């Protein structure tokens, strides 16, 4: 009888844990829908404002017409970007732990992403310190590694205010691959450091909006990194810059 009680107790416990998990999942979904609606409200309101303006009298004024069209196109492209990032995040969140068959040459990806960023930002000095062991391979989807690096480098550039310089370091040993993206920009306060990996979190909403930020980049990067048992951390000093570090276990066996 004692044994049966134990079993029953265990079952109840498991059941309650399941319920808790379901509830927290539903809660998260609800929050997500709320956040999304909130994020879409601003661009929709801006476009609506311009259309109303044009409808009332603006279409007869070439200057207003021109400005309203430009502003509306900008808002639409912002929304497109937001929708793409939401899709990326949802996809990343559906991943549990990944063990792909695809073997990716880390060196190749790092160099390729850095080359591309250099092309897009010729005004930046982008240094690459490559200390990767020869033939550093990882079982990771190439596009995931690319996406993670692009998010961190894009941010480093977006939030560099005074010094147009970023440094990317890549290193590996038997057990890990380490990637670091360092900038000398505005930095992140201690309180914000814990929040920036949360969905839709932006330190300065208005300023970030100007830069086209939705607050989804870091949550996507974090989720992807963790799908490969990796870790992502940030060191930062307000006013002097930030250093984002990724560490992956090597898993090519």
Point out which residues bind ligand ADP (CB under 6 A).
151, 155-156, 159, 183, 185-188, 196, 201-203, 208, 213-219, 242
- Comparing CB distances to ligand ADP, the nearer of 177 and 196 is 196
Which position's Cβ is nearest ligand ADP? 213
Q: Are 132 and 174 in contact (CB under 8 A)?
A: no
Q: Are 181 and 244 in contact (CB under 8 A)?
A: yes
In the complex, minimum distance from the CB of residue 216 to ligand ADP, in angstroms, rounded to a whole number: 6
- Comparing CB distances to ligand ADP, the nearer of 89 and 110 is 89
In the complex, minimum distance from the CB of residue 48 to ligand ADP, in angstroms, rounded to a whole number: 24
Residues 209-233 as b/e (b if ≥16 CB within 10 A, e otherwise) read eeeebbbbbbbbbbbbbebbebebe
- Comparing CB distances to ligand ADP, the nearer of 58 and 217 is 217
Q: What contacts 169, CB < 8 A, 6 or more positions away?
A: 128, 129, 131, 178, 179, 180, 182
Give the integer Cα–Cα distance in Å for 4 and 191.
Answer: 49
Give the integer Cα–Cα distance in Å for 33 and 40.
Answer: 11
- Comparing CB distances to ligand ADP, the nearer of 156 and 177 is 156
In the complex, minimum distance from the CB of residue 188 to ligand ADP, in angstroms, rounded to a whole number: 5
CA dihedral 98, 103, 106, 110 (to 10 degrees): -80
In the complex, minimum distance from the CB of residue 24 to ligand ADP, in angstroms, rounded to a whole number: 22
In the complex, minimum distance from the CB of residue 13 to ligand ADP, in angstroms, rounded to a whole number: 37
Give the integer Cα–Cα distance in Å for 100 and 248.
Answer: 14
Give, to the nearest 10 degrees, the angle between helix 217-227 and helix 62-94: 20
Give the integer Cα–Cα distance in Å for 89 and 165.
Answer: 29
Q: What would the two tokens of residue 63 be?
A: 């200057």
- Comparing CB distances to ligand ADP, the nearer of 50 and 114 is 114
- Comparing CB distances to ligand ADP, the nearer of 147 and 155 is 155
In the complex, minimum distance from the CB of residue 39 to ligand ADP, in angstroms, rounded to a whole number: 11
């Amino acid at each position: 009888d004692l044994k049966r009680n134990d079993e029953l107790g265990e079952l109840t416990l498991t059941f309650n844990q399941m319920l808790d998990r379901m509830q927290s999942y539903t809660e998260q979904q609800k929050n997500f829908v709320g956040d999304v609606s909130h994020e879409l409200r601003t661009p929709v309101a801006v476009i609506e404002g311009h259309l109303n303006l044009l409808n009332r009298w603006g279409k007869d004024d070439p200057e207003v017409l021109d400005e309203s069209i430009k502003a509306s196109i900008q808002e639409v492209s912002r929304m497109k970007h937001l929708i793409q990032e939401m899709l990326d995040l949802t996809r990343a969140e559906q991943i549990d732990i990944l063990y792909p068959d695809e073997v990716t040459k880390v060196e190749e990806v790092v160099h390729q992403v850095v080359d591309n960023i250099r092309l897009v930002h010729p005004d930046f000095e982008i240094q690459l310190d490559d200390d990767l062991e020869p033939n550093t391979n990882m079982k990771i989807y190439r596009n995931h590694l690319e996406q993670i690096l692009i998010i961190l480098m894009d941010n480093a550039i977006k939030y560099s205010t005074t010094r147009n310089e970023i440094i990317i370091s890549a290193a590996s040993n038997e057990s890990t691959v380490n990637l670091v993206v360092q900038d000398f920009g505005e930095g992140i306060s201690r309180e914000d450091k814990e929040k920036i990996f949360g969905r839709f979190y932006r330190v300065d909403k208005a300023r970030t909006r100007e830069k086209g930020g939705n607050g989804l980049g870091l949550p996507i990067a974090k989720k992807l990194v963790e799908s490969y048992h990796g870790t992502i951390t940030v060191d930062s000093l307000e006013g002097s810059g930030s250093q984002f570090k990724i560490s992956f276990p090597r898993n090519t066996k």
